[in-house]
Structure 1
């Protein structure tokens, strides 16, 4: 090595060390500050009993191709087409003057920004409130979440056009649904097949329960709500097509019988590794057919003159905690990254439709978390991925022990308690049966 290069390296080394050290110190500084606890705040409520009306619609989403395929960490494929095309599906429920909209998007998640934009555009439809949920497809398009953690972990680089595509589809589906209100009856039932699902990360074993609610008009089904928990991760990660995975295929299968079918995710479960023939898209279709068969086994019972009730509550979140997600030496930097990507509040909702009393949670509750919330509120079940996204929600005991889904939870052990207090308020306001 020449003397010139040696002198250059001797100069470069301390500069590099100083730069790295400064960056590490800056990232390790406590930028989070203090996150205060406060009582839940009721943001909206509505209750009515009597004759039920409903309207439903589905609208194809039109992402700005080429788009990143969301669902996993980098590298991610880009897609210039979809198969099947992802949809926005909506149903508007009305009893008297009370109207509530429910819109399901075939996306990985729904961030606060997307939910707020959909509600803003629906302001002229006469709805008391709007619930926005994701089917959690890990192969649909991304780019609609501006939070840095989401961009890094799942949804890819933020593009305003992707956000607009999701908002436009959801808003149009709600508009069409509100314009199609008609008298309906409500039929509710459930069936179970534990062979279809398995536990995640050694957690509680899902029982494979499917809840089916049919809104039936004079000429046939208007809409069908299917609540079933199984991660839509059947389609391969490297598939260069936008794909709504098994929930999209299940909706299409059910819609062959009439009406619009919304697939809603319950507490966390996985598609059974031993299930089905074929690979990728074929396996997704096979699983959708199996769940459709389970839906056919449901013998729904008419609910008579149902009630419709809704409550939405804002809760303060605990301080983010990356201790289970990153090495100990980068804990402070991890906390700062989560804090910069997290709202200090979240919404918890409660929706009563006839005998169904459902909690609405902005994340992915485990079976243990669902059991805790049901016990505290009397709810019949929990819908995940609703009105925001705070990642996984695990029981405090498992978070402290680093078990179950703790390594995917962005907040500390207090998260479930904060959400649980809000759920109790929402359930009480919505009139859930104790």
Structure 2
């Protein structure tokens, strides 16, 4: 210690600079390498047409408390209970020999690890084709994503117990839905409520489209699907409770009104947030859920004929190399790329789901309005379903990415991302037999 006190601090400057320079050089080395590109590949398909059967179920999703509250950057609160409770809601559809399961989870996102485990276990119920989706609640449980960037950016420290709880609930919901299959009729309708959403970026403003799908048996409603796009970010960040935000409250309201099991599916407006502002705190959340529930109940639906088309195609697309140029200062660009590379998926799954007149492209991320318009234009789809079968982050139109506008500052990949997903979506749409 006496020796260190005798050393002039200025003499340590070269050592400090050398250490910093070495660390910078090491972090800036191209650890990411090159990422191979190949044409999209069909993973699976199921197609059928005939009388429609369906079953639905709702199962509690019980986190391994105490659990981190996901949704935002640190610091994050830790929750010892859920209020209201989280759920997994599932609908199983069957027509002409094709069977498809849909399960919606009160989560921020879903990972491919969760998706693959759910599919593997659901296969025991004869469900070879399953779509796993998140409501995108920014106040739900975390700890289920092992990727470093995800842990830092939103989901918190990884815990295998969180994954186990999610998979258990999802599989139970799908299994019970499959066991409750019955003959149903299908009816579909759409309304627009632009006052309920707004754009937080320079991209195209959302139109507030709300698609309603009703599945009804002779004994009454079996299920209702609501496709709507608005970020569930209404619950305060510091609230130390796990909370499903407005999607959980909306579905519970519709179910209490006799709609059957209700699933809220997020559409192609990753850059939209709720604009409704009556009330304060949780009153505001409940108020918005009530308004949306009322709107949904008034959406007129038109019956589809006795013979219903059902198809699902899943396609694998290769991802472009991650690009941190819009996320970090230019001097740390290479280090940012390396960090993203360690957490980014090299492949992603895009799908095409047809149910009667509905033709939906499924995307494993948050497509914006502009990106959604490209996907619809390329495939002829009636809409886009986001946050399905994995998570690759935001998906923005390439011209906005090149200009640094829209949600590009939150996109993990470069401007080629949408093209890769759109090419896969085209193949999926053809395979699923979209009408275009």
2:376 is matched with which residue?
374
2:197 is matched with which residue?
197
Deviations 1:331-384 (A, max 9, x none): 001000111101210000000000000000000000001111111111000000
Superposed counterparts of 1:111-130, under 5 Å = 111-130=111-130
User: Is residue 287 of structure 1 aligned with residue 259 of structure 2?
Assistant: no
- Contact 2:119-2:127 within 8 A present in 1 as well: no
Greater shift after overlay, 92-101 or 306-315?
A: 92-101
- What is the TM-score of this pair, normalised by structure 2? 0.97
The 1:16–1:96 alpha-carbon spacing in structure 2 relative to 1, beyond 3 Å, is same
The 1:205–1:40 alpha-carbon spacing in structure 2 relative to 1, beyond 3 Å, is same
Rounded Cα–Cα distance in structure 2 between residues aligned with 1:46 and 1:83: 38
Rounded Cα–Cα distance in structure 2 between residues aligned with 1:175 and 1:96: 20
2:312 is matched with which residue?
310
**Secondary structure, in 3 states, of the residue corresponding to 2:7?**
helix
1:183 is matched with which residue?
183
Superposed counterparts of 1:157-172, under 5 Å = 157-172=157-172
Deviations 1:68-109 (A, max 9, x none): 100000000111001100111111001132111100000000
Deviations 1:174-202 (A, max 9, x none): 11111110000001001111111101212
Q: Return the match for 1:348 from 347, 350, 363.
A: 350
Shift of 1:14: 4.4
Deviations 1:247-303 (A, max 9, x none): 000000010123100000001253444x23222221111111111111122110111
Deviations 1:211-267 (A, max 9, x none): 000110111111100000000000011111000000000000010123100000001
Rounded Cα–Cα distance in structure 2 between residues aligned with 1:262 and 1:135: 9
**Secondary structure, in 3 states, of the residue corresponding to 2:413?**
coil
- Contact 1:396-1:413 within 8 A present in 2 as well: yes
Rounded Cα–Cα distance in structure 1 between residues aligned with 2:274 and 2:119: 36
The 1:22–1:289 alpha-carbon spacing in structure 2 relative to 1, beyond 3 Å, is same
Rounded Cα–Cα distance in structure 2 between residues aligned with 1:204 and 1:108: 24
Rounded Cα–Cα distance in structure 1 between residues aligned with 2:85 and 2:253: 14
2:209 is matched with which residue?
209
- Contact 2:197-2:206 within 8 A present in 1 as well: yes
Shift of 1:20: 2.6
1:422 is matched with which residue?
424
The 1:14–1:195 alpha-carbon spacing in structure 2 relative to 1, beyond 3 Å, is same
1:145 is matched with which residue?
145
**Secondary structure, in 3 states, of the residue corresponding to 1:340?**
helix
| Two-structure CA RMSD over aligned residues (Å) | 1.5
2:22 is matched with which residue?
22
Shift of 1:37: 1.2
Superposed counterparts of 1:25-104, under 5 Å = 25-104=25-104
Greater shift after overlay, 146-155 or 250-259?
A: 250-259
2:363 is matched with which residue?
361
Rounded Cα–Cα distance in structure 2 between residues aligned with 1:108 and 1:31: 30
- Contact 1:361-1:387 within 8 A present in 2 as well: yes
Which ranges in structure 2 are unaligned for 5 or more consecutive residues? none
- Contact 2:351-2:361 within 8 A present in 1 as well: yes
Q: Return the match for 1:387 from 386, 389, 392.
A: 389
Rounded Cα–Cα distance in structure 1 between residues aligned with 2:67 and 2:255: 27
Rounded Cα–Cα distance in structure 2 between residues aligned with 1:31 and 1:4: 37
Rounded Cα–Cα distance in structure 2 between residues aligned with 1:4 and 1:87: 60
**Secondary structure, in 3 states, of the residue corresponding to 2:142?**
coil
2:109 is matched with which residue?
109
- Contact 1:92-1:102 within 8 A present in 2 as well: yes
**Secondary structure, in 3 states, of the residue corresponding to 2:195?**
helix
Rounded Cα–Cα distance in structure 2 between residues aligned with 1:358 and 1:432: 9
Rounded Cα–Cα distance in structure 2 between residues aligned with 1:220 and 1:365: 35
1:339 is matched with which residue?
341
Shift of 1:398: 0.3
Shift of 1:433: 1.2
User: Is residue 409 of structure 1 aligned with residue 401 of structure 2?
Assistant: no
1:276 is matched with which residue?
277
User: Is residue 261 of structure 1 aligned with residue 262 of structure 2?
Assistant: yes
- Contact 2:233-2:274 within 8 A present in 1 as well: no
Shift of 1:422: 0.3
Greater than 6 Å deviation, 4+ residue runs = none
- Contact 1:192-1:294 within 8 A present in 2 as well: no
User: Is residue 237 of structure 1 aligned with residue 237 of structure 2?
Assistant: yes
Q: Return the match for 1:400 from 395, 399, 402.
A: 402
Deviations 1:49-86 (A, max 9, x none): 00100011111111111111000000001110011001
- What is the TM-score of this pair, normalised by structure 1? 0.97
Rounded Cα–Cα distance in structure 1 between residues aligned with 2:298 and 2:6: 77
Which ranges in structure 1 are unaligned for 5 or more consecutive residues? none
Aligned pair count reads 433
Rounded Cα–Cα distance in structure 2 between residues aligned with 1:6 and 1:356: 78
